[in-house]
Amino acid sequence: MTDTFLKQLSNSDIQWLKQNGQSQKIQAGDVLIEQARSPNFFYLLLGGELTATISQNQGGRLGRAFAALEDEQDLEQEIARFAPGDVLGKMPVVELTPAALTIKATENSALLAVPYEALTEKIEEDFGFASRFYRAIATLLSERFWRLVQHFLRPKTGQLPPLQDVPLIFGELSDSDVDWMLGVGRLEEIPADSVLIRTGEQIENLYVVLQGTLAVFVKEEQQNRLANLFAALESNEENDQSIEREIVRLYRGEIVGEAVTLDNPTSTYTLRALEKSILLKIPQQQLLLKLQQDVGTAARFYRVVAMLLSGRLQGLISRLGYGRSSYQIGQSLELDANYEDEIDLDTMDNLTLGGARFDWMLKRLKV
């Protein structure tokens, strides 16, 4: 039983899910969600076990390499198992089960299925519910992302291709949210090659990248959190022999350090500046106080964090050479085809608004 999701909700939130959801049972071997087909329900697993698998993307070099090594044409790989208390399925903005995944039962299982439309309506009308719900989803997605990263860091899989996120934070936040960030934030210039956050250390600030490029490096996970912490305290640049691999590059407009608002602010990565960079630093205490006092800001902020982590999780699956098909450079576009990585019109509006708001922010800060 995992309580990562449920412990973030209030009793009234859980009661609402029970009242608006319907019980569903599936037998061992049954498929709950087919790859490339988005469900119409948000699911809470009540009993049993589900497994998630991803199929080879024929357009990915790594996927073809795995297929050749395994001598399989239809390569599938298990990437996750879901226990009672886990959630998956469809919800506003965030895809908990990307189209890349096939979800099936490994044993007889019971679920609570909440209709997507009902959940959307509840989130839109109740900021308190929305803030707790998105925070719970963000916490869950963070755990899933780093578990998947460690899975693919094993020597047999080779080095991970870098990821690139395009979070829509300034399109999702309000003008007042951004104005508050400008008021409490402080500009910080980071020299090239300097480390801003180190693996195993507490994350104490939220950062917005205003200028420059930073990279996220991860290494093999320590056996437990305490060992990881002491390893970080005792190590330095000269005697730390651990092999770190770059998995993400962060550019202007992106955020980092979002874990300061979640349950475990201990860093699972090292953040290093690849060039001289300028960041807006927002202290943890002031941010948490704002999120506690302003439920509207909290709902929007945790929604952004959930979007960011969902995008990173789906991007990792895609860039490993598995799952959803996407447009490839040199490929002709078909007018009647729906590409799964297309940007819809609502998202395009948010991109435009977000870009304008970010430019306004830079002018205010004179960056």
Distance CA(53)–CA(308), nearest Å, equals 22
Is 216 found in the same domain as 360?
yes
Residue 137 resides in a domain: no
Residue 131 resides in a domain: no
Helix, strand, coil abundance in the chain, percent, nearest 5:
40, 25, 35
Is 176 found in the same domain as 108?
no
Is 190 found in the same domain as 50?
no
Distance CA(5)–CA(139), nearest Å, equals 8
Is 121 found in the same domain as 249?
no
Distance CA(48)–CA(35), nearest Å, equals 21
Distance CA(344)–CA(347), nearest Å, equals 5
Is 361 found in the same domain as 214?
yes
Provide the 8-state DSSP code for 30. Answer: -
Distance CA(108)–CA(277), nearest Å, equals 52
Is 294 found in the same domain as 242?
yes
Number of C-alpha atoms within 13 angstroms, CB side, residue 209?
A: 26
Distance CA(182)–CA(17), nearest Å, equals 37
Residue 337 resides in a domain: no
Residue 340 resides in a domain: no
Residue 53 belongs to domain with CATH number:
2.60.120.10
Q: Which of 125, 151, 170 is the last residue of a domain?
A: 125
Distance CA(234)–CA(89), nearest Å, equals 42
Helix (H/G/I), strand (E/B), else coil: 107: coil
Is 163 found in the same domain as 241?
yes
Is 173 found in the same domain as 117?
no
Residue 139 resides in a domain: no
The answer to whether the Cα torsion of 334, 339, 345, 347 is positive or negative is negative
Is 307 found in the same domain as 219?
yes
Residue 63 resides in a domain: yes
Structurally, the chain folds into a number of domains equal to 2
Distance CA(89)–CA(108), nearest Å, equals 18
Q: Which of 76, 103, 125 is the last residue of a domain?
A: 125
Helix (H/G/I), strand (E/B), else coil: 283: strand
Residue 290 resides in a domain: yes
Is 215 found in the same domain as 316?
yes
Q: Would you say 319 and 311 are in contact if contact means Cβ atoms under 8 Å apart?
A: no
Q: Which domain holds residue 110?
A: 6-125
Long-range pairs, 231-237, Cβ under 8 A, ≥24: 231/200, 232/198, 232/199, 232/200, 232/201, 233/200
**pLDDT tens-place values along the chain, 367 residues long:** 578 899 999 999 999 999 999 999 999 999 998 877 778 999 999 999 999 887 755 444 444 444 444 444 455 678 889 999 999 998 887 877 655 678 999 999 999 999 999 999 999 999 999 999 999 999 999 888 888 887 766 654 555 555 554 446 778 888 899 899 999 999 999 999 999 999 888 899 999 999 999 998 987 654 455 445 455 555 454 444 467 788 888 888 888 898 889 877 788 889 999 999 999 999 999 999 999 999 999 999 999 999 888 888 877 776 655 544 444 434 444 444 444 444 454 554 555 666 777 777 787 777 7
Is 120 found in the same domain as 163?
no
Distance CA(85)–CA(8), nearest Å, equals 12
Is 114 found in the same domain as 52?
yes
Q: Would you say 31 and 104 are in contact if contact means Cβ atoms under 8 Å apart?
A: yes
What pLDDT, in 10s, does the model give residues 250-293? Answer: 888 888 898 889 877 788 889 999 999 999 999 999 999 999 99
Rg (CA), the chain: 21
What pLDDT, in 10s, does the model give residues 228-249? Answer: 545 555 545 444 446 778 888 8
Residue 154 resides in a domain: no
Q: Which of 83, 102, 125 is the last residue of a domain?
A: 125
Distance CA(159)–CA(146), nearest Å, equals 15
Q: What is the pTM of this model?
A: 0.79
